[in-house]
Structure 1
Amino acid sequence: MSSVDFIEHPARDGYRIGEIRLNAERSLNALTLEMIEAMLARLAAWEDDPGLAAVVLGGAGDKALCAGADVVALYRGITAPDEVPAEALQGAPDFAERYFAREYRLDYTLHTYAKPVIVWGSGIVMGGGMGLLSGGSHRVVTETTRLAMPEVTIGLYPDVAASWFLNPLPGNMGRFLALTGSQLNARDARRLGFADRLLASDSREALLRELADADWPAAARDAHGVVSNVLRGLEREADEAGLFDAMPTPTAEHAERVRKLMDHDTVEQQVAAILDDESDADWLARARQTLANGSPLSIKLIDAQLSRTRYMSLAQVLRSELALSVQCCRLGDLAEGVRALLVDKDRDPQFRYARLADVEPAFVETMLADLWEESPLADLD
């Protein structure tokens, strides 16, 4: 069985709709290098195909679009590098460099794709899944959507261009989400600009049918309007059914409290404020717990990465993330975090630093250093 399926649905006037379906339900469609390579190749072919009108990207099953990167494979690449097949590296010195370079190239491809890309962000959308969703021209979420960037718990930091899409959020909400890995529902996602349409989770097949029956224009630039019209109709149906009426929006409800918690001059002060907060709201309590269990090194890297990328372009952000992610594998806490949470599952990671105050500034600078004279992503505009 293929880890990713490509389906071409016949549409009117000889056009076709391309569907990409991640096919790894047991791992909640965790993004493997094999999936990434296959998607890059197919997207390139479809972009040059005048008969391909639009792309729909989703995950198999109804539980997840994608729960994140294949971090277990990254762990094995770090701890047992001699076991990585040479063909998987394709010239890269290690698996981490190859994996992240290709994943971020895929994210960039989605962000800059010439044709409409509808990303079906139903169910769990975390980590690498957020990279896929954020790259879509038309980002769909449903009543089952749960978004998060919980990398602080495994010794990483929010990547996949999160340094680019978290920074603009008002009231320091992006930095709060990065530090706490807080989950967002569909209404939160649209409120913060992570999603465009709220649809019913059982309307994916209806979406494909209506796209196939749409009147596609000869001019490719007008295809985005066709997709928007289809999604608008399906969203109207969800609205009329009252599907999202009772859904809370914690990011709105707690926006002022988050702003005050983050209104400090250093990340140490921000972390202390969050951990000392006495709110009994479930959303804030979960945020405190996640932050308390996070890697102190990751906390410092999150702060530094968001600060240094504040005015960078998407391409510049992805290049900076590539170097930092590779360093998290080579020198940082990623292997230990994955071991504790996903491999041995003892939930007792022995991170490099036990406390935030122990993290050495010089080591943070080492982690943030450029690794190449020319980045593997140097060709991104």
Structure 2
Amino acid sequence: MNTDVLLETRGPVGLVTLNRPKALNALDLGMIRLLQPALEAWAQDPSVKAVVIRGAGGRAFCAGGDVRAVAASRGSPVPEGQEPLSRAFFREEYRLNHLIHHYPKPYLALVDGISMGGGLGLSVHGSHRVVTERLMLAMPETAIGLFPDVGGGWFLPRFPGEAGTYLGLTGTRCNAADAMWLGYGTQHVPHDRLDAVVDALAAADWTSGPAKDVATRVLSGFTTEPGASPLKEHREEIERCFAKDRMEDILAALEAEGTPWAEETRATLGRMSPTSLKVTLRQLRLCRGRPYDEVVTVEYRLSQHTTALPDFREGIRAVLVDKDNRPKWNPPTLAEVRDADVEACFVPLGERELVFSSHT
């Protein structure tokens, strides 16, 4: 029996606990296959008024998708009758995110500790994102030869100004105050009050109004102020430097800025996969303003093309396997990344396209 996801009902609340604490609750294919049918069943069950999702162990909500397993599978023989993990994992993860995005009931993510990559996919698409003072939020994909997936092309451009472009390219870590300013967090609740939040939701009178309003009203009894956002302090610099449509122009703007923040940001970008940087910037510009269901199709294409490139396996090796943080990118510089290679990552997949037509 798979205990990586714990599922229970507490009165009118469906409660999900991600239960891989040693792996910081990283999301693998087995967990996705437990979550999808459970959420579908609760959506249809009139006795379930809301869903709450949280992480076990106290260190992380969800540190991302299990991309290490995807990288290890690339180039390995695929057993007869099975499909490559890189195909199955991303397709089923995107279907799960799509279900959450369009979920018909309140979906409350209690985001305590680390939330990166796939953790945002399990939270940002829900109706309520409760963040605590222990939050560490990031989309660090350009450091592993990937791109901001799980809907990054949809939600990053919706952050204030060019903050999403900055976060998607640099992988900068955000705290709870940043998350509230960005609009990722909807409520800030102290870590030691989360169990009480679950109890209060279970005890709530769900006949007193629309379910989303009931959930919001319950949470309002626990909210506190997160303080000032360090990220917001750099908003003007971010606007000046990250509104460009070419990576070379972003770097030139940072050089012209000349502040310690700008120099640090240039250095950070210099460590990322040049291909990932150009693909990510193209993704964010292409997807800006598009409906979520269209963005999913674009991102699934990206997932299949980018995980086949050498930078993905090299990034996973450098960051997650050997942990030397000294990747050898191919090509090694932005100047050597051809526009045609970037556009190749966006090519349709033919019969393997992931298309949703039930929502707009």
Aligned to 1:350: 328
What is the deviation of 1:40? 0.3
Q: Which runs of 5+ in 2 are unaligned?
A: none
Aligned to 1:104: 94
Query: Conserved in 2, the CA contact under 8 Å of 1:105 and 1:377?
Result: no
CA shift digits 1:211-236 (9 cap, x unpaired): 121111187xx11111111100011x
Aligned residue type for 2:7: F
User: SS at the partner of 1:125?
Assistant: strand
User: SS at the partner of 1:189?
Assistant: helix
What is the deviation of 1:374? 5.8
Query: Conserved in 2, the CA contact under 8 Å of 1:182 and 1:287?
Result: no
Distance in 1 of aligned mates of 2:22 and 2:104 = 32
Aligned to 1:13: none
Query: Conserved in 1, the CA contact under 8 Å of 2:245 and 2:281?
Result: no
Query: Conserved in 1, the CA contact under 8 Å of 2:255 and 2:263?
Result: no
CA shift digits 1:131-158 (9 cap, x unpaired): 1111110111010111110100000011
Among candidates 206, 209, 214, match of residue 216 of structure 1: 206
Distance in 1 of aligned mates of 2:251 and 2:29 = 34
CA shift digits 1:245-298 (9 cap, x unpaired): 4xx4122111011112224452211034336754335xx666444322100000
Aligned to 2:134: 144
Among candidates 266, 270, 274, match of residue 296 of structure 1: 274
What is the deviation of 1:169? 3.1
Matching of residue 52 in structure 1 with residue 48 in structure 2: yes
CA shift digits 1:93-152 (9 cap, x unpaired): x21111011111111111111111100111111111111111110111010111110100
Aligned to 1:323: 301
TM-score between both structures, scaled by the size of structure 1:
0.89
User: SS at the partner of 1:96?
Assistant: helix
User: SS at the partner of 1:58?
Assistant: strand
Query: Conserved in 1, the CA contact under 8 Å of 2:151 and 2:292?
Result: yes
Query: Conserved in 2, the CA contact under 8 Å of 1:275 and 1:292?
Result: no
Among candidates 207, 214, 218, match of residue 230 of structure 1: 218
Query: Conserved in 1, the CA contact under 8 Å of 2:296 and 2:354?
Result: no
Distance in 2 of aligned mates of 1:216 and 1:184 = 34
Matching of residue 269 in structure 1 with residue 249 in structure 2: yes
Aligned to 1:6: 7
Q: 1:275 to 1:104 in 2, by over 3 A?
A: farther
Query: Conserved in 2, the CA contact under 8 Å of 1:53 and 1:216?
Result: yes
Distance in 1 of aligned mates of 2:28 and 2:260 = 38
Distance in 1 of aligned mates of 2:313 and 2:233 = 36
User: SS at the partner of 2:222?
Assistant: helix
Distance in 1 of aligned mates of 2:244 and 2:151 = 25
User: SS at the partner of 1:307?
Assistant: helix
Matching of residue 127 in structure 1 with residue 117 in structure 2: yes
Q: 1:71 to 1:374 in 2, by over 3 A?
A: closer
Matching of residue 257 in structure 1 with residue 241 in structure 2: no
Pick which of 152-161 and 177-186 moved more.
Answer: 177-186
User: SS at the partner of 2:17?
Assistant: strand
Q: Which runs of 5+ in 1 are unaligned?
A: 11-15
Matching of residue 41 in structure 1 with residue 37 in structure 2: yes
Aligned residues: 358
What is the deviation of 1:71? 0.9
Query: Conserved in 2, the CA contact under 8 Å of 1:153 and 1:295?
Result: yes
Distance in 1 of aligned mates of 2:222 and 2:342 = 47
Distance in 1 of aligned mates of 2:328 and 2:162 = 29
Query: Conserved in 2, the CA contact under 8 Å of 1:156 and 1:298?
Result: yes
Query: Conserved in 1, the CA contact under 8 Å of 2:13 and 2:202?
Result: yes
Matching of residue 201 in structure 1 with residue 191 in structure 2: yes
Aligned residue type for 1:117: Y
Query: Conserved in 1, the CA contact under 8 Å of 2:154 and 2:295?
Result: yes
Aligned residue type for 1:355: T
Query: Conserved in 2, the CA contact under 8 Å of 1:154 and 1:333?
Result: yes
Q: CA RMSD in A?
A: 2.0
What is the deviation of 1:86? 6.1
